[in-house]
Amino acid sequence: MSRLGIIKCVLETAATWILLQFFPFTMHIKLRFIVVWVLMQFIAGRYRHKALLVWDELKYLFVSFICGYIASLMMFSYGRGFPWHEVMPLTLFYALDFLMVVVINRYAHLWFWKHVKHNVLIVGTGPEARQLYSVCRRNRFSLMDPLGFVDSGAEGMASPDEKLARPVYPWKKLEKVVADKDIDTILIALPDLGKRDMKRIFNKAYDLVPNVNFMPRIDGEINFASQINDFDGLLLIATSRTRNQVFQLMAKRVVDILAAIPGMLILIPLTGYVWASNRRQGDKDPIFFVQERIGRDGRLFRMYKYRTMVPGAEKILEEMMKRDPAIREEYEVNKKLKEDPRITKAGKFLREKSLDEFPQFLNVFKGDMSLVGPRPYLPREKEDMGEQYDDVIAMKPGITGMWQTHGRSDVDFEQRLELDSFYYRNWNLWLDFVLLVRTVKSMLSKGDQGAY
């Protein structure tokens, strides 16, 4: 058990036992319930801090609670019919306890952060090291606090214009830094390093701290479902993707319909607001924008959005690109302009909060789109999509997806394609759930979306 695992085990068990006292079970049944509950938490591995992301922790919670609920049901006597008077309170107890444990989990990481966090050094100064630092900083759930970078001597130092957020220490001072900063974890972010240099660095780090992690060079071969296996002393990374996804696709469609109905109801007052806002700005043109997009299997469909640009935006764009080569270059690379003068004042607000995409609930209800999926690309972008075109059109395009929750306007066209390809190759219902939660969070706040 980790230090935080012990804290969470004590807090959660105590809270669960207190909650159990409010339910009409006999004492010996309550004792059995609490034993089963604790046992399932340990079997699920919740207190070993295997989860580095809050989504992983939620998975462990779901597994432990579902298994605990089923095991608890077996304690009742079914000889005289189904014991509704016992099953209903048990169901309510597990539902309330799940919510309580989720809250305890969140605040335990915040309350005890300074006492349970890992002091981290990142070996490397390149883009991978900077990206790893960024993930550590915004993902407090991992308990990793990066205190500095180490120049390994096997790569070039960061250029002067690349400002690193933490000090960079030379390799020869590694031992001193580990001792002075009380470092217990080293992250090696040198995926392009040769075998000999990597072995030298890894062995040195392993002698100094108890926790060593390194980023391998994967080039896209590892996906969401990959597993690392010890094959009799040989390291094998297994990647697999479920081919028979009929049940999950059916469930995805059901969720789409259930979400589309309230979404279309919200459209009524939202449309009134957009209409009034446009009129206040002197904009009397139609508030809806209809455009052909590429759907599943390459079929074209008419996608609905609130109009956020001035009328004739396409012609204006062509004229802008003719006048300014820089604008042409930016649009050809990103398929959009970061500072687009064609966007209306009302449209800017709608885009920032993703409200311009609400009419797409009509597309979801019709079956042209899904709640979560790849970005709906324009027909003219097909040639630029290259080999990733087949991955993108294998799924229905979504109102939200990977690119909206992993950078949005900060990712270029190629990165968007990579994210959408990743979504297809790793899709499951759990991934959809994670992306939906992150989307809602991004709509409610302008803060860092990766933070716990």
Same domain, 405 and 290: yes
Residues 184 and 254 reside in one and the same domain: no
* Secondary structure of residue 371 in the 3-state scheme: strand
Please tell me whether residues 348 and 440 are part of one structural domain: yes
Boundary of a domain, candidates 113, 139, 163: 113
Distance CA 409, CA 441 (A): 16
**Which residue's entry shows tokens 């990743």?**
422
C-alpha span between 402 and 224 (Å, rounded)? 13
According to DSSP, residue 408 is labeled G
Indicate if 303 and 430 belong to the same structural domain.
yes
Is residue 371 pLDDT above 90, yes or no?
A: yes
Q: According to the model, what pLDDT value does residue 158 have? A: 43
Over residues 338-370, the pLDDT tens digits come to 767 777 777 777 777 767 888 999 999 999 999
451 inside domain: no
Counts for the chain of helices (H) and strands (E), in that order: 18, 11
Judge if 179 and 323 occupy the same domain.
Answer: no
Local structure of residue 193 (DSSP, 8 states): -
pTM: predicted TM-score of the whole model, two decimal places: 0.65
| Residue type, position 54, single letter | V
276: in domain: yes
* Main-chain phi, psi angles of 215, to 5 degrees: -90, 115
Confidence band (pLDDT; 50, 70, 90) for 302?
very high
Quick one: 302 and 404 in the same domain? yes
Residues 335, 404 within the same domain: no
Closest C-alpha to 290, from 299, 298, 301 = 301
Number of domains in the chain: 4
Mark whether 205 and 88 lie in a shared domain. no
Q: Do 73 and 207 sit in the same domain of this protein?
A: no
- 217, 241, 272: which is the final residue of a domain? 217
Q: What is the residue range of 325's domain?
A: 309-342
CA separation for the pair 133, 144 (Å, rounded): 9
Do the domain assignments include residue 229? no
**Residues 16-57: tens digit of each pLDDT:** 999 999 998 889 899 999 999 999 999 988 888 776 777 788
26 in a structural domain? yes
Please say which residue of 292, 322, 342 terminates a domain.
Answer: 342
